[in-house]
Amino acid sequence: MASTQVSFTGRFIHLTLTSSMQKIRLLTDKVISKLMLLFTVASVSLLLIIGIGLYYKSIPILNKLSWGQLLTSSVWKPFKGLFGFYPFIMGTLWVTGIAIIIALPLCILTSLYIIEYAPSRLRRFLIPFVNLLSGIPPVIFGVWGVLFIIPLIQNYIAPHFAEYSTGYSVLAGGIVLAVMIFPLIVSIVNEVLRTMPQELKDASLALGATKWETIKKVILRKALPGIIAATVLAVSRAFGETIAVLMVCGNNAVSPHSVFDPGYPLPALIANNYGDMMSIPLYDSALMFAALLLFIIILLFNIISRVILASLERRMAG
Amino acid sequence: MIRRKLEEKFFKILMVLATIIVSCSFFLIVGTIFYKGVPFMNLDMITKTPGGGFYIGKEGGVLNAIVGSMYIAGGATILGLIISIPVAIFINMYIDGKKFLSNTLRMAFDVLFGIPSIVYGAFGFLLMIYFGVRASLLGGIIAVTLLVIPILVRTLDEVIRTVPGELRDAALSLGSTRWETAKVVLRAIKPGIYTAVLLSFGRAIGDVASVLFTAGFSDNIPSSLHEPAATLPLAIFFQLGSPVAEVQGRGYASALILTIVVLIITVLSELLLKRFYKNKI
Amino acid sequence: MTTEKPHISVQGLNVQIGNHHILKDINIDIPNKKVTSIIGPSGCGKTTLLKTFNRLLDNTSDVKVTGKVLVDGEDIYDPNIEITHIRKKMGLLSQRPYPLPMSIYDNIAYGPRIHGSPKKKDLDILVEEQLKNVGLWDEVKDRLNAPATRLSIGQQQRLCLARGLAVGPEMILGDESTSALDPLSTHIIEDLFMKLKEKYSIVLVTHILRQAARVSDYIIFVYMGRIIEYGPAEEVLKNPKEQLTKEYVKGYIT
C-alpha cells in the first residue's frame, strides 16, 4: 500500500513540474511565432511600401505632366520643368538588350560545355571559377570598362564601322553588363542541365542520335523553362545595374540610334543627378518617378515571366 | 551522316570558345585592376585617412572608406540576419501545409531580390527624409539592410530546404515545439548560415547605388551613427573622377583593395558551401 | 541451342566500372528472333550486360570494357565502328518510360527524322503503323499533337516501344521494362513482346521469375557478374543444372 501511495505522489509531483515548464515552452513558441509572422509580413509589405512611397513622391510631377507625356517626350530640360523620360527608357532598353544578346548565347554554350562535354576535373574547376565573377563589385566592372572596353571600342571596333565614337556608348554599357551577368546565367543553366535525367538522354541516344542531336532536340527543349527563368533574372539584374553602366555609357540625354551612340539609362539618371535634386523644383519628384518606373518595369517583368514559366511547365508536363 | 558529325564538331568548337571567353573575363578584369593598381599601392593607403588635399594629390589613404564600408556592411548584415532568419524559418516551418501561401511569400521575396539597389537607395532616402535622418552611417545601414534582406532570406530558405523532412519529423515526434525544432534545424545548417552571411556581406560592401544618397561621404572615420560615412566604392569613384593622375592611380589602388577583400570573401564562401554540401551526404 | 547463327555473340567480355569488376568473362550467344531473358539477383550485372549490347554503357564514367560483342558478325567495340549505326539496330525500353519532351507524333517521328529527311506523308504512315503495332492507335489517334507526357504510364511505355520500333531495329532490349507498370499494362507489354519476336530478337532483363517464365524462349542466369546457366526457359526454370540456379529459382537468393 505504502509503495503505491509513494509512487502515486511521485507521479503527481512530476506532472506538476512538467505542467509549468510545459506552459513556458508553449508560450515561448507562441510568442516567437507571432514575432516571425510580424517580421515576415513587414518584409513582404516592403514591396508595397516601396511602391507606394515612390508613387507618393512622384505625384507632384504627375500633376504637372501626364503619364503619356512623361514616357514619350524626349525633351529633358529640368530648369524649364520639362521632363521627358523617353531617351532614358530607350537607353535602358538598348543597354540591356545588347547585354542579353551577347551574354545569352555565350552562357548557354558555356554551360552546355561545362555540363555535357567537359572532363570532370575541368568541370569541378570551372564551376566555382565562374562564380568568382559574381562576387566582383559593380564599381570594379565600371573601372575595367573605362580602362579596357572604352579604348577598345574607340580605337578598334568603331573605326571598322566608319563611325567616330568616343567609346562611351551603349555598346560599352552592354558589354560590361554582359560580363556582369555571365555567372548568373551560367550558374542557373548549369543547375538545369545537371538535373536532366540520364535516362532521357539514353532514350535519345538509343534511337541512334548523336550527343549533339540529343542536346539540340531533347535537352534544350526540356531546359527551356529554366533558360527563360535565367534570362528573366539576368534582365532584371541588367535593368537595374547602376554604377558600372554609368561609368561607361556617356550619359547623354538623347535616345541612342546605333550601338556606338552614348546612352543614359534610368539608374544612371537617378544616380548622377541626385545632388541637384533638391535645388531644382520638381527635380526630386522626377527622379523618384524614374525610380518608380524602374520598380514597375521590373515588377511587371517578374510577374509576366512567372506566368509564362507556369504555362510552359504546364504544357510540357501535361 | 557526315553533315551530322560536322555540325557536332562545329558546335563543340563554339562551346569551347564560349567557355574560354567567359572564364577568361575573370582574369581580364582582375588582371587589369592589379596591373593598374599595384603601382599605386602602399601601406599608407590602408592605414591613413585622407589628409588635406588628398583629392588633388596630397597625402593620405582610404582608411575612412575601408572602415566605413565595413561598418555599413557589417551593420546591415547583422540587422538583416535578425530579420531574415525568423522569416526564412517561418516560411519553411510555420506555414503548415498551405503550399500556396509559402509559394506566394517566396515569390514576393524573389521579386524583392530582383529590385535594383538604386531603388532601395532612393527608397532609403525617402525614409530618411521622412524620419529626419541625415545622410549618415545610420542612413547607409538602413538602406543596405533593405537591400540585403531578400538575399539573406533567399539563401537561408534554400539552405533550410535541404534539411530532410525526417529530421524535423524526428524532433517534432519527440514532442518539441516548432521553435525548438527550428533551433535544431538552425544548428544543422550552420555552415549554410555562414555562407549566407558572407554572400550578403560581399554584396553590401561593393554596392554603390544604395549608399549613394544615404550614407553621405566623409574624410573621417565615423564615430557615431549620425555622422556621414565614406564607402570604398564611392571613394574609388571620386578618386577616378579627379583630373590628377596621382589621384586616379590611387583610385585604382582602392579598387584593388576592394577587389581583394571581395575575392577573399567569395573564396571563403565557396569553400564553406562545398564543405556544407559534402557533409550532407 | 538453335542451329541458326546468333544475333549477338559475346566473346570474352569483361567490364570494369571504377574498381569494381562487374562482368567477368562473359561468353554467350543471343539467338535470332527469340525472346531471351536475363535473370539474376540485384546487382549481379544483368543491366550492365544489356547496356553493352547498344554501348549505352559508354556514358557511365570510369568504364573499361575488354572483349568482343559481335552483332551480326560486327564487333561493336571496334574503335572504327560508327556508334549511331549500331544503336539504330537496337530499340531500348527502360525501366520507367521516358517520353521525349514533345508531342506523341514527334516522339515516334524523332528517330526517322534524325536518320533521314522523310516526307510528311511517309511519316504519317509510319506513325500510324507503329502506334497500331503497340495497340495505341485507337487511344491516341485524335490527339497525336498532344504532349506525350499526358499519357498514362502504361501508354507512355507503349509509346516508347513504338518510338523504338520506328527506326527499324533488329533487336529490342528491355531493362525491367514493366516494373513501373500496373498489372494490366504489364500484361499488354508482355503480349506485345511475344508478338514482336516474329520480327525482332528480344532480350529482356527481369527480376520477376514469373514474367521470365511467361514470355521467354531462353533464359540466362547471371550471378555476381558471371553466367551461371543458360538454356531453354523451361529447362532452366524447372530443371536447373547448377546449384546456384536451383537456389535462385526457388527464391532462396534475392
Q: Name the residue ranges covered by the structural domains of chain A.
A: 2-64, 70-317
Q: Could you tell me if residue C3 is inside a domain? A: no
C183: CATH: 3.40.50.300
CA atoms of A127 and A115, how far apart (whole Å): 9
Report, in this order, helix, strand and coil percent for chain B, each rounded to 5: 80, 0, 20
Is the pLDDT reported for residue B35 higher than 50? yes
CA atoms of A170 and C35, how far apart (whole Å): 67
Q: Whole-model pTM?
A: 0.82
Are residues A318 and C101, on separate chains, in Cβ contact within 8 Å?
no
Are residues B240 and A114, on separate chains, in Cβ contact within 8 Å?
no
Are residues C115 and A222, on separate chains, in Cβ contact within 8 Å?
no
Residues of A with Cβ-Cβ distance to C111 under 8 angstroms: 207-209
- C143 has a chain A CB within 8 A of its CB: no
Is the pLDDT reported for residue B48 higher than 90? no
Range of the domain at C117: 8-249
Are residues C100 and A198, on separate chains, in Cβ contact within 8 Å?
no
Number of domains in chain C: 1
- Please tell me which chains touch A, using 3 or more CB pairs under 8 Å as the contact test: B, C
- CA C135, C139, C142, C145 torsion-angle sign: negative
| Residues comprising chain A, all counted | 318
What grid cell was written down for C105? 507524333
CB-based contact A94:A254 (threshold 8 Å): no
What per-residue confidence (pLDDT) applies to B112? 87
Q: Which CATH class is domain A70-317?
A: mainly alpha
Neighbour-count burial for A26-42, b at 16+ CB within 10 Å, e otherwise = eeebeebbeebeebbee
Q: Could you tell me if residue C254 is inside a domain? A: no
Share of chain A above pLDDT 70, in %: 92
- A209 has a chain C CB within 8 A of its CB: yes
CA atoms of C139 and C155, how far apart (whole Å): 9
Residue with the three cell numbers 507503329: C130
Q: Could you tell me if residue C179 is inside a domain? A: yes
Residues of B with Cβ-Cβ distance to C114 under 8 angstroms: 4
> 3-state class of A38 per DSSP?
helix
Q: What is the mean pLDDT of residues C194-200?
A: 89
Is the pLDDT reported for residue A3 higher than 70? no
Residues of C with Cβ-Cβ distance to A315 under 8 angstroms: 147
Helix (H) or strand (E) holding B160: helix B137-161
What per-residue confidence (pLDDT) applies to B280? 58
Across-strand partners of C16? C21, C64
pLDDT in tens, C97-129: 999 988 999 999 999 998 888 899 999 999 999
Q: Could you tell me if residue C2 is inside a domain? A: no
Residues of C with Cβ-Cβ distance to B1 under 8 angstroms: 82, 84
From the list A44, A109, A140, the residue facing B33 with the nearest CB is: A140
Q: How far is A238 from chain B (nearest CA, A)?
A: 9
Q: How far is B4 from chain C (nearest CA, A)?
A: 9
Residues of B with Cβ-Cβ distance to A107 under 8 angstroms: 18, 22
Residue of B nearest to C115 (CA): B1
CA atoms of B176 and B182, how far apart (whole Å): 10
What per-residue confidence (pLDDT) applies to B97? 65
CB-based contact A242:A91 (threshold 8 Å): no
Q: Could you tell me if residue C75 is inside a domain? A: yes
Is the pLDDT reported for residue A165 higher than 90? no
CA atoms of B106 and C186, how far apart (whole Å): 42
Pairs across B and C, CB distance < 8 A: 4
Are residues C84 and A209, on separate chains, in Cβ contact within 8 Å?
yes
Q: Which of B276 and B183 is assigned the larger pLDDT?
A: B183
What per-residue confidence (pLDDT) applies to C1? 47
Residue of C nearest to B4 (CA): C114
CB-based contact C104:C145 (threshold 8 Å): yes
Q: What secondary structure letter does DSSP report for C240?
A: -
What per-residue confidence (pLDDT) applies to C239? 84
- Picking from A2-11, A43-52, B137-146, C142-151, which range would have the lowest pLDDT averaged per residue? A2-11
Are residues A206 and C115, on separate chains, in Cβ contact within 8 Å?
no
Are residues A107 and B149, on separate chains, in Cβ contact within 8 Å?
no
> 3-state class of A250 per DSSP?
strand
